Chains A and B, each alone.
Chain A
Amino acid sequence: MGDLAAEKHVRYILSVEKKKDSFESVVMEHLRMNGAYWGLTALDILGKLHVVDVDEVVSWIISCQHESGGFGGNVEHDPHILYTLSAVQVLALFNKLDVIDVDRVTGYIVSLQNEDGSFSGDIWGEVDTRFSYIAICCLSILRRLDRINVEKAVKYIISCKNMDGGFGCTPGGESHAGQIFCCVGALAITGSLDLIDKDLLGWWLCERQVKSGGLNGRPEKDPDVCYSWWVLSSLIMIDRVHWISKEKLIKFILDCQDTENGGISDRPDDAVDVFHTYFGVAGLSLLEYPGLKPIDPAYALPVDVVNQIFFSK
């Protein structure tokens, strides 16, 4: 295990942006907004956000916004709540939330809440607790949480709670670390963590750590760097992160680095991508790895960005 190859990861993230014509980026172009969030947040954690041309990014983001107020994953793509959060998060990163019409974005999200408190991802009606988190997180960043029915939103999330203390996509859905992050995050932002059985969920989450030190997303599955974020942030929000071995997890993440060309992959010796690079770096930040900016486990933005939003007039 070496140290974090921070310089190389920065170079890797910046290079991905330039390879717009590769097959991989064409396949992924529909979620470029997510990609921007992953890459830029990772850069900020690594202390290198200033090398980015802010105006270029901001004007591209604006070009992805639709009449409805929602954002698409890229220009020409339809609006969806998934990309609306990423857009808002990136703008928050640059302290540029004032460039959008907050009420219009709010209106889009508010329109997606259903009678039972759940949220649809877009006008086509797919329901998932991921969208509940996104709606709540996004509105809280915009300081407009009071525009939705929070009580019903929380109730719906609780209706997705399982016997293992975790949460699924919809009532009856199996617990999954990514889904748990969304539900725990939504409950954290709405001050409702008392509705979670922290010991039961904490045991399930801490048992995600396997022999190699990595974390898996469900029982009897392989470890993967992206769960370093989902499991870890959930464990932190319920104050049970001491139930896993931080040292072993740090080693696993560092073992997944491409120390030659930069970037982090899902498992050692796999191909790197921006998604896992972000989750690896964010995971290390949550593990208090030296030299990284701390990241907030609920809003998934650097702590200084979050504090700036909530602790200034």
Chain B
Amino acid sequence: MHGQPRKSLKQEDESLLSAKAEKLRALQSQFFANHRNRIYTQEALDLSAKLLEGNPECYTAWNYRKLAVQHNLSRSDPNYVAYLFDQELKLVENALRKNYKSYGAWYHRKWVLSKGHSSIDNELRLLNGFQKADSRNFHAWNYRRFVTSLMKRSDEDELIYTEEVIGENFSNYSAWHNRSVLLSNLFKRKAEEFPLEEKVLQEYEHVRSAIFTDPADQSGWFYHLWLIDLTVKNYAPLLVSSWPSHGSSITLNGNNCIDGCGLSLLNSTLSDTRTLPVILYFNQAVEGVNLSTVTVKSEHLKEDLVWKPLITNNSSTAQVWGAYLNLGNMELEQSKTYSIEIAIGHSMGIVSSNGYQYGDPSQIAFKLCVQSACTKPVEEQGGKLTSWKDNNFQKIDHFEDSDSTVTADLHIPTTSYWCMKAIEEEITNFRELLSEDACKIGKLSLARLLTALDLSTHQHDKRKNHTEEVLKLYTDLVELDPTHSLYYKDEHSLVLLQQITSSRESLLPYCHYYKDATEANTSYVCLRLQNLSLSRMGSIENLLWVQMLDLSHNELRSIEGLEAMQLLSSLNLSHNKFGSFTALEPLRSLKSLKVLDISYNELGSHSIDTRRYLCSSPLANTEAFDWDRFEILCGSFSSTKFWEAFLIFESLNLTDLNVTGNAVADENFTSFIGKVLPTLKWLNSEELS
């Protein structure tokens, strides 16, 4: 099947082959007769051996050999037993010489050895032969791991073996891989004899020499990235950001609209539910966020908070957790200030998926102030159409001193000295490499190292960061390696968003007041990130405060992470590259979302949906489907056509939706969506009656 040249056979070859085929078929039918009749004589065994030596892939024959061994074992003469197993090992060896990629043959050998009647002393010698012939054969490497563990050979000895293999030829990804497995084991089991930092520093040197010898050879690339990860990774879960943020004060108006001093919260969030979200954003997915691990101190809180993972599959771990304060129950009085303290991780229980406990017990304190009621009654939601036109927005010159809603204040853990040192040293080395050879892996590694450095020094000195240089490196890479240009564009987008959201000052140019044309008094803050060539969303941990977000005129295909933005009420995604409704899955968690513009995207233009399995659905066994409702809504339409739209929109309370400019948005669809969203007042900028 592999590597056979395409040619038409000559007459004599053809007759030769058909004679061979006939012979093989005769052998097979004899074998099946023996198998059927459970004949395990030496003669029958010889026949099956002949068959396997000619065609090691004939798995039923290997099964037959095992049955034969079991059958013949009943003759308990020890010499015979040894002979019996020996015969099997020899057969496997012959079969492997015919085809060393045969799963059946390798497994038969494992099966024989695990019976414990054969010596394992010869196995490594045999393996060395196969590994010399093909140093990347993964069957042989798997078998090697099996045999060395059977022999109780130490990880240290195997580490030396990989060193030898790499020494002969560094271009051996399999050996680097095995090294990572062995080292991971040693770090876990022998932390004292095997100090991570010392070893990691040595490994940098080791893999660097591979990469620098031939930068185009991928053998060391992933290993190097793994080392960077080992260097900067925080194993213990930590809180990265929260909403409300520590030290903030939230102003509530009498009729329950909140106001962050000049940055009023759109009424919808509160007027509907009379609740206030509290969001905890961690550095990694955690479980165990609950009443005992997160405690709330407030005199007025009447009921316990219920923490929920902000993720839509049925997993119990999530990077972002949310709870809702029930304001209706709090009996808040006007012109008073209430303080609320949330303590996180003071008792054990918040755990990462690798089993690490929450690292640094922390606290968030914020204030709720109640002001006299608004002079005007809160207008009924959806009364007006939201317009995203430029003339409805007004630039903000500076934030008010008192304002604390817009935040960019991250909790960054301190990085140890050796980490910084290691990263800085690698940066120097890769700069040197690039001065000689402007290669792709050099630029990519440098970009990653600089990003790692910036992240770990974030709190010390914001001005000395390398963002501009990193952005330039990714721009270069788009040119240098056009095949993977969208990978670099995605990375570019992430770095750009990091830069924009890193501080209140950097956010300011993107913050605008939304001026409702008919209502001069109310102004909302909108974060406008349109026209930035963003192909990917990121830095959501800095955007938890956002209520109105304009991401239009970018190149977005997904909005992964947006589920954390629990305050979001209006979202503009028009003129992007969304290819399916499943890409909008994060919106399902946003109970406050009222306004959505998804016009001029690619909905309905793709036959293959790349978000199909990242969205919870019956396909992924994560969601039951409300058939009855769906059927009623679908009526005469083909029922499989709109399931994605149904899945996404069914749980939303939108009042204003725009889907124009998408292939999917025909008349059938508009009528369907009108039924799925009974709350809708505006569809495609037209008022529904």
Enumerate chain A interface residues (CB-CB to B < 8 A).
21-23, 26-27, 29-31, 72-73, 76-78, 80, 122, 124-126, 140, 145, 150, 162-164, 168-170, 172-176, 188-195, 200, 202-204, 206-207, 209, 218-221, 224, 236-245, 248, 258, 265-267, 269-273, 275-276, 285-286, 288, 294, 296-298, 303-304, 306-308, 310-313
Contact = CB atoms under 8 A, between A and B. Distances in A.
A234 to B, nearest CB: 11
Contact of A189 (B20, B63, B181, B621): B621
Given A188-B613, A243-B486, A311-B643, 20 more contacts: A21-B25, A22-B21, A23-B18, A31-B57, A162-B180, A162-B181, A163-B180, A190-B620, A191-B616, A191-B622, A192-B315, A193-B620, A204-B222, A206-B484, A218-B138, A224-B2, A245-B484, A270-B4, A285-B608, A298-B613
Interface in B474-500: 482-484, 486-487, 490
B1 A288 contact: no
Interface of A (DSSP majority class): loop
23 contacts: A22-B17, A23-B21, A31-B57, A77-B59, A124-B66, A124-B107, A140-B621, A163-B222, A173-B142, A174-B138, A189-B619, A194-B313, A204-B222, A218-B173, A239-B610, A239-B611, A243-B490, A244-B484, A273-B1, A294-B607, A307-B640, A311-B643, A312-B639
Contacts of A221: 136
Contact of B314 (A169, A191, A209): A191
B218 A192 contact: no
A298 B608 CA distance: 12
Given A125-B111, A163-B177, A163-B223, A23 B620 contact: no
B621 A190 contact: yes
B285 interface: yes
B4 A271 contact: yes
Nearest to A239: B610
Contact of B60 (A78, A190, A258, A312): A78
Interface in B583-633: 606-608, 610-614, 616-622, 625, 627
Contact of A76 (B20, B32, B66): B32
B6 A174 contact: no
A71 B541 CA distance: 51
A296 B484 CA distance: 24
Contacts of B2: 224, 266, 270
A287 B423 CA distance: 39
B63 A258 contact: no
Interface of B (DSSP majority class): helix
A164 B219 CA distance: 11
Contacts of A266: 1-3
Q: How large is the interface on B (under 10, 10 to 19, 20 to 34, 35 or more residues)?
A: 35 or more
Contacts of A308: 640
A220 B594 CA distance: 51
Closest 7 CB pairs of A and B: A191-B622, A188-B613, A191-B620, A294-B607, A23-B21, A219-B218, A271-B4
Contact of A245 (B145, B223, B483, B639): B483
Nearest to A274: B1
B92 to A, nearest CB: 14
B484 A243 contact: yes
A174 B611 CA distance: 27
A288 B455 CA distance: 39
Interface in B152-182: 171, 173-174, 177-178, 180-181
A39 B282 CA distance: 48
B55 interface: yes
A60 B66 CA distance: 28
B32 A242 contact: no
B141 to A, nearest CB: 6
Contact of B24 (A23, A78, A244): A23
A260 B138 CA distance: 36
A125 B108 CA distance: 10
A310 B145 CA distance: 41
A158 B178 CA distance: 17
B546 to A, nearest CB: 23
Given A192-B315, A209-B483, A220-B218, A311 B618 contact: yes
Contacts of A209: 483-484
Contacts of B317: 194
B558 interface: yes
Contact of B218 (A31, A207, A270): A207
B59 A30 contact: yes
B429 interface: no
B502 to A, nearest CB: 20
Contacts of A169: 138, 142
Contact of B58 (A30, A150, A206): A30
